Structure 1
Amino acid sequence: MTIKTRTSGYADPSLHAQGLYIGGKWEKGSGIAVVDPSSGDSLADVPDASVEDALRAVDAAEAAASGWRATAPRQRSEILRRWFQLMSEHAEELATLISLENGKALSDACGEVAYAAEFFRWYAEEATRLPGEYRHTPSGSHQILVDHEPIGISLLITPWNFPAAMATRKIGPALAAGCTVILKPASETPLTAYAMARLGEEAGVPPGVVNVLTTTSPGPVTSAVLADPRVRKLSFTGSTGVGRLLLAEAAKTVVSCSMELGGNAPFLVFDDADLEAALDGAMVAKMRNAGEACTAANRFYVQAGIHDAFVAGLTERMAALKIGAGYDPETQCGPMITPKAVEKINRLVGDAIALGARATTGGAPLPGSGYFYPPTVLENVPVDAAIASEEIFGPVAPIYRFETEGEAIRLANNTDYGLAAYVYSQDLGRAMRVGSRIDSGMLGINRGLMSDPAAPFGGVKQSGIGREGGVTGIQEFVEAKYYAVEF
Structure 2
Amino acid sequence: MDHTDLYINGAWVKTDTRFDVINPATEEVLASVASAELADADAALDAAEAAMAEWAARTPRQRSEVLRRAWELMTARLDHFAHLITLENGKAGTDAKGEATYAAEFFRWFAEEAVRADGMITHAPASGARIMVQHKPAGLAVLITPWNYPAAMGTRKIAPALAAGCGVIIKPASETPLTMLALMPLLEEAGVPPGLVNVLPSKRTGALVDHIMHDPRVRVVSFTGSTGVGRTLLKGAADQVLKPAMELGGNAPVVVFEDADMDTAIEGTMLAKMRNLGEACTAANRIYVHADIAEDFTARLTAAMSALKVGNGTDPSVDVGPLVNAATRDKVAEFVADAVAKGAKVECGGVVPEAKGYFYPPTVLSNVPEHADCVQDEIFGPVAAIQTFTDQEDVIHRANNTEYGLVAYVFSGDFKRGLQVCERLDYGMVGLNRGLVSDPAAPFGGTKQSGLGREGGHEGMLEFMETQYISASW
Counterpart for residue 97 of structure 1: 84
Deviation string, structure 1 residues 148-178 (Cα, Å, up to 9, x no partner): 1000000000001011110111001000000
Deviation string, structure 1 residues 126-153 (Cα, Å, up to 9, x no partner): 1111101100001133111111100000
Identity of aligned residues (%): 55
Residue 264 (str. 1) matches residue 264 (str. 2)? no
Tell me the amino acid that sits aligned with residue 128 of structure 2. Answer: S
Within 5 A, what are the aligned runs for 1:407-422?
407-422=394-409
Q: Counterparts of 1:203 and 1:44 in 2: how far apart (Å)? A: 26
Aligned-residue offset at 1:476: 0.3
Q: Counterparts of 1:124 and 1:278 in 2: how far apart (Å)? A: 35
Tell me the amino acid that sits aligned with residue 287 of structure 1. Answer: M
Tell me the amino acid that sits aligned with residue 393 of structure 1. Answer: F
Residue 145 (str. 1) matches residue 145 (str. 2)? no
Give the SS at the match of 1:16: coil
Q: Counterparts of 1:333 and 1:462 in 2: how far apart (Å)? A: 30
Aligned-residue offset at 1:328: 1.1
Q: Counterparts of 1:169 and 1:419 in 2: how far apart (Å)? A: 17
Task: Identify the match of residue 197 of structure 1 among 184, 201, 214.
Answer: 184
Counterpart for residue 432 of structure 1: 419
Counterpart for residue 108 of structure 1: 95
Tell me the amino acid that sits aligned with residue 37 of structure 2. Answer: S
Within 5 A, what are the aligned runs for 1:268-279?
268-279=255-266
Tell me the amino acid that sits aligned with residue 231 of structure 2. Answer: R
Q: Counterparts of 1:134 and 1:365 in 2: how far apart (Å)? A: 63
Residue 22 (str. 1) matches residue 5 (str. 2)? no
Q: Counterparts of 2:153 and 2:268 in 1: how far apart (Å)? A: 23
Tell me the amino acid that sits aligned with residue 424 of structure 2. Answer: R
Counterpart for residue 4 of structure 1: none
Give the SS at the match of 1:183: strand
Tell me the amino acid that sits aligned with residue 179 of structure 1. Answer: C
Q: Counterparts of 1:434 and 1:125 in 2: how far apart (Å)? A: 34
Within 5 A, what are the aligned runs for 1:394-405?
394-405=381-392
Root-mean-square deviation over aligned CA pairs: 0.7
Q: Counterparts of 2:185 and 2:314 in 1: how far apart (Å)? A: 22
Residue 159 (str. 1) matches residue 146 (str. 2)? yes
Aligned-residue offset at 1:55: 1.6
Aligned-residue offset at 1:202: 1.2
Q: Counterparts of 1:453 and 1:210 in 2: how far apart (Å)? A: 21
Give the SS at the match of 2:460: helix
Within 5 A, what are the aligned runs for 1:41-120?
41-120=28-107
Tell me the amino acid that sits aligned with residue 43 of structure 2. Answer: R
- The unaligned stretches of length 5 or more in structure 1 are 1-13
Counterpart for residue 242 of structure 2: 255
Q: Counterparts of 2:305 and 2:82 in 1: how far apart (Å)? A: 24
Q: Counterparts of 1:139 and 1:385 in 2: how far apart (Å)? A: 59
- The unaligned stretches of length 5 or more in structure 2 are none
Give the SS at the match of 2:260: coil
Residue 184 (str. 1) matches residue 141 (str. 2)? no
Runs (4+) of structure 1 exceeding 3 A deviation are none
Q: Counterparts of 1:98 and 1:314 in 2: how far apart (Å)? A: 28
Normalised TM-score (structure 2): 0.99
Within 5 A, what are the aligned runs for 1:421-460?
421-460=408-447
Task: Identify the match of residue 24 of structure 2 among 31, 37, 40.
Answer: 37
Q: Counterparts of 1:22 and 1:176 in 2: how far apart (Å)? A: 20
Give the SS at the match of 1:45: strand
Q: Counterparts of 1:141 and 1:77 in 2: how far apart (Å)? A: 36
Q: Counterparts of 2:177 and 2:112 in 1: how far apart (Å)? A: 28
Q: Counterparts of 2:361 and 2:242 in 1: how far apart (Å)? A: 42
Q: Counterparts of 2:212 and 2:269 in 1: how far apart (Å)? A: 41
Counterpart for residue 213 of structure 1: 200
Deviation string, structure 1 residues 63-99 (Cα, Å, up to 9, x no partner): 1121011011111111101110110111111100100
Q: Counterparts of 2:58 and 2:316 in 1: how far apart (Å)? A: 43
Q: Counterparts of 1:103 and 1:33 in 2: how far apart (Å)? A: 16
Q: Counterparts of 1:417 and 1:100 in 2: how far apart (Å)? A: 31
Counterpart for residue 349 of structure 1: 336
Deviation string, structure 1 residues 7-39 (Cα, Å, up to 9, x no partner): xxxxxxx1122x100011111235111111001
Residue 378 (str. 1) matches residue 365 (str. 2)? yes
Q: Counterparts of 1:42 and 1:419 in 2: how far apart (Å)? A: 34
Counterpart for residue 364 of structure 1: 351
Aligned-residue offset at 1:396: 0.2
Aligned-residue offset at 1:311: 0.5
Total equivalences in the alignment: 473
Deviation string, structure 1 residues 280-304 (Cα, Å, up to 9, x no partner): 1111000001101110000000000
Deviation string, structure 1 residues 219-250 (Cα, Å, up to 9, x no partner): 10011001100000000000000000000001
Q: Counterparts of 2:200 and 2:73 in 1: how far apart (Å)? A: 22
Normalised TM-score (structure 1): 0.96
